[in-house]
Each structure stands twice: as C-alpha cells, then as structure tokens.
Amino acid sequence: MGKKFRIVSLFLTGVLCLTIIGGILWHQNRVVGEAVPNDGHEAYLKVISTGGRGLLENVPEYIEHVASGERIPLRQHAKDLLDGTRGEAVDMLGFYLMEPRTGQSIASPVRVKLWHATNHYGGGILRITDTNGNTLARLQLPEISHYNLTQHAYETEITFEQPATTGGFIVGHLWSAKDEYPDDYKKAAVSIPIVFR
C-alpha cells in the first residue's frame, strides 16, 4: 500500500508540475495563437516610438511573421510612418494622431488622421469628450489584419454630439483581447485639448 501510494503521489506531482509549466508558457505567449514579436519587431517599435531615423538601420528589411508565415517589409513600414508623420504626430499610447491637433477648433463631423497597428488581439480606441469627461463619440480603430504588427495610415470622420462645454479632449487608449472591460477609461490614456465651435 505504501509503495503504491508513493508512485501515485509522484505521478500526480509530475502532472501538477507539467500543468504549472504549461500555464506559465501559455501566459508568456498571451492569447493562444497570438504571435510574440521577435527582436526585429522590437527595433521597429523603438524607431516609431522615438522617431529616430538614425535607428532605421537596426530594423531588418523583412521579418517573417511567426504565426502567419507572412513576409513583412518592416523597415519600409517604419520609414513610411516617419515620412507620413514628419515628427508631428502625438503618441496616443501606441497609435499616432496627426489630426485634430492640440488646441484645434473642431465641429461635427471632425476629420481624424492617424497611424495605428490594430489587429485581432489589440488596438486603439479614440474618444471625444467634453471638459467634464463625458464621452461625445467613440471610435474603436478597425482591425488591419488578424496578425498585423505594423503601423498603417488611417483617416475617417467622427460625428459627435453637441457638447455642453466649449472645450474638450481627444482621448486615446489601448484595448487588448485580454481586457475584461475594454471600455474602462480609468486605465492609462493620453488626451489632447481641443475647442468646440
């Protein structure tokens, strides 16, 4: 009885250890099927977040996406963003707003120009609020492709309710497939002031 009990205990301990290790590996890969970017992608993110043209040479010409097998012209995407934003975009926590600009006077509908990298697993949300924080309009940026990793230019118009205040904000934050509450605006956000006309 004692020997049989020890064998069963060892077996169950082994299964428990394998389950814990599997859970850790799954968590590191985040959502099942979500691709974990390689070092080339990290170099790309550094270039676009800093606007550093001198860092372009560190970005590989191409990378192969680990999930889709797609060959992505990473350096060209970084160059396109730098050329398209000319250092004038506001980093809204990972997407880059060109218009409206800080302090701009806007009316409904307002033209929005930005660069974003939304995919199936995460992306950006843009809101127009009054000075009291009331949401007048909300735009969840559309999915570029299921496994997209790169920034793309995007333009649209947003119609918003007539505000009760003369001023307001353009607010940006990110969402993730892991978010239990994607509309939780208490999370980190970036806002720029605007004026309503």
Judge whether residue 7 has pLDDT over 50.
yes
Q: pTM value?
A: 0.75
- Number of domains, the chain: 2
Please say which residue of 86, 110, 130 terminates a domain: 86
In three-state secondary structure terms, 77 is helix
Greatest mean pLDDT among 19-33, 61-75, 101-115, 178-192 = 101-115
Distance separating the N- and C-terminal Cα atoms of the chain: 84
Flag whether 18 is in a domain: no
- Rounded Cα distance between 5 and 167, Å, is 72
Flag whether 23 is in a domain: no
Q: Are 142 and 170 in contact (CB under 8 A)?
A: no
Task: Say if residue 177 is in the same domain as residue 108.
Answer: yes
Task: Say if residue 70 is in the same domain as residue 104.
Answer: no
Give the mean model confidence (pLDDT) for residues 178-185.
Answer: 66
* Residue 25, pLDDT score: 45
Task: Say if residue 127 is in the same domain as residue 139.
Answer: yes
- Helix or strand holding residue 44 (H, E): helix 39-50
Please say which residue of 86, 111, 126 terminates a domain: 86
Task: Say if residue 97 is in the same domain as residue 172.
Answer: yes
- Rounded Cα distance between 129 and 84, Å, is 27
- Rounded Cα distance between 94 and 132, Å, is 25
Distance of CA 155 to the CA centre of its chain: 17
| Confidence band, pLDDT 50/70/90 cuts, at residue 62 | very high
Q: Are 102 and 193 in contact (CB under 8 A)?
A: yes
